[in-house]
Amino acid sequence: MPHLGRRWAAAAAVLALCAGVVAASPASAHPRETGRTATATGYGGAVSTVDPDASAAAIEVLRRGGNAADAAVAAAATLGVTEPYSAGIGGGGYFVYYDARKGKVGTIDGRETAPAAMPRDAFIDPATGQPYPFTPELVTSGVSVGVPGTPATWERALERWGTLSLGEALKPAIKVATRGFVVDPTFRQQTLDNRVRFEAFTSTRELFLPGGDAPTVGSVFRNHDLAATYRLLAKRGADAFYTGRLAAEIAKTVQAPPVSDGTTLPVPVGHMTTADLAGYRALDQAPTHVEYRDLDVYGMAPSSSGGTTVGEALNILDTAELSDMSTPDALHRYLEASALAFADRAEYVGDPASVDVPTAALTDPLFGRERACEIDPLHAATKPVAPGDVRSYDGVCETGSGAPADDKDTENISTTNLTVADRWGDVAEYTLTIEQTGGSGITVPGRGFLLNNELTDFSTVYDPDDPNRIEPGKRPRSSMSPTIILRDGDPFLALGSPGGSTIITTVLQTILNRVDLGMTLPEAIAAPRASQRNTAAVTAEPEFITAYRDDLTPYGHQLTPSGDSFTSAAEIGAATAIEFRRDGRMIAAAEPVRRGGGSAMVVKPAR
């Protein structure tokens, strides 16, 4: 049995205690408020999201005979209502699906794209000749807005795998938007954290700061504008978003944002046109695939870096028997493998439509074996480490091929993830986002949704050798890592997370916890996290630092507390997952504490 250690056991006990508090409904709860339960076990279908209204929407679809694709779209649309600062039709994402009838995994790339007129110096302030400050200036702008991919992704997912029309799948979300949802502390705090940005736009201020303040905890927040927009999509399909009056309004909002009088933010204008919207396509893609232990791991291929980076790191880890190691030894290898994979991510991964991405090499077990040679079992390497050579490898230990890689990462922590399974064995894993918490801060007037700031995922300064350089029509590199794992050809585990570039490490560490360290799925999600992205210090949650600083310092790992650019939040990720047991049971697991706790539900609870 693997050595979990007293320190992690103590941290897990604290998290479990907190989970019990979150799951309990307060005595004074609003009658419309849905309780949160972090773990649910049962049959007939399951769902895990960050929000109980979204989970309830998916369960409603499953109970009425819909499949996993139908329920995933219903949950995602509802998250656009209740989690508007993390996701919505103004953004994009990646959809991974296991089709039980065919026994195959397929994916949809719904990533946003740069407008055709996007200049290479788009992020340079013409007044100074220097890059705009990233936050809040550059993210709060029209120039940061990419052509949204979410409506096209929903429609394509339903066309490929669903049984419902888009209109039918949107019904639960329309209901929630119309009747409203109960404001929790997280929603209010995120609104307050974005106050300066939201006040910069008349449309956003009116919707999210009514009366000049964020909605109070316990009040009911309704979004009739979004309900009307959803009704339009239900009637006319995704074409209503990408063409016609709504498309014209989106383009106008990007080119001439509705700036409030008195704002001090520069709000650089964008370049999106109606032609950009009309030309958008969600792309069918083959998934990435690696074998780990006796499992088949499928992920999202570029333009996301999630599948290649998680896959490469697993190939590196597969060279050692982690289950026979102490937990500190296993964590040391996890951190080192992640750093090596991130070095290759920075060197090679971008939009394959614009960059020659060596996906096959990055996920080749021989390449992973050669990269594993760089790991010293007793000492952490000096970071950043150099990328490997994808042009020449044979699995034999050699030295690094080049200079240390600069990741130039600007991807923000906000996003959301959902996991759904149905009675027939189909599985949907979907990560969607508007990038920053609150996206660009710009609400399309009268339409009820925020636009993304996804183009800030490009490198800020143009470099012709950078695979993530700005180019017209290009999809910026993402870290979203929706992952489906099969065992003997059947689903074993599906998982994903928000968290910017820490998405990759959250998914990787959760797999490590469940597969190698002997944790149950709820324990694997609740366990404290650390993220090594080829940087001098390891970003870690305070609980991880408390549990492992003394164990990992002798290896040379420097642990530094995590936190985002807008708040003091120290959480890494907010995972959702479902595990499939051989007896037919499904274990849906969500966060017990992070982001206020997630919501796991099943169609028929097990006794």
For the annotated catalytic residues, the residue numbers are: 415
Residue 153 CB contacts under 8 Å (≥ 6 apart), including other chains:
92, 93, 95, 108, 110, 282, 432
Burial of 326 (0-12, 13-18, 19+ CB in 10 A): middle
Question: What letter would DSSP give residue 512?
Answer: I
Residue 487: φ, ψ to 5°: -125, 120
Burial of 293 (0-12, 13-18, 19+ CB in 10 A): middle
Contact criterion met (CB below 8 Å) for 496 and 307: no
283-285 and 483-487 as β-strands: parallel, antiparallel, unpaired? unpaired
Longest dimension (CA), the chain: 66
Alpha-carbon distance of 309 to 446, in angstroms, equals 40
Q: Which helix (H) or strand (E) is 330 found in, with range?
A: helix 327-348
């958008």: which residue's tokens? 280
Alpha-carbon distance of 211 to 142, in angstroms, equals 25
| Angle between helix 542-552 and helix 6-23 axes, rounded to 10 deg | 170
559-561 and 538-540 as β-strands: parallel, antiparallel, unpaired? parallel
Alpha-carbon distance of 472 to 531, in angstroms, equals 32
Alpha-carbon distance of 498 to 511, in angstroms, equals 16
Alpha-carbon distance of 439 to 420, in angstroms, equals 25
Neighbours of 228 (CB within 10 A): 15
Alpha-carbon distance of 71 to 95, in angstroms, equals 13
Q: Report residue 73 as tokens.
A: 């779209």
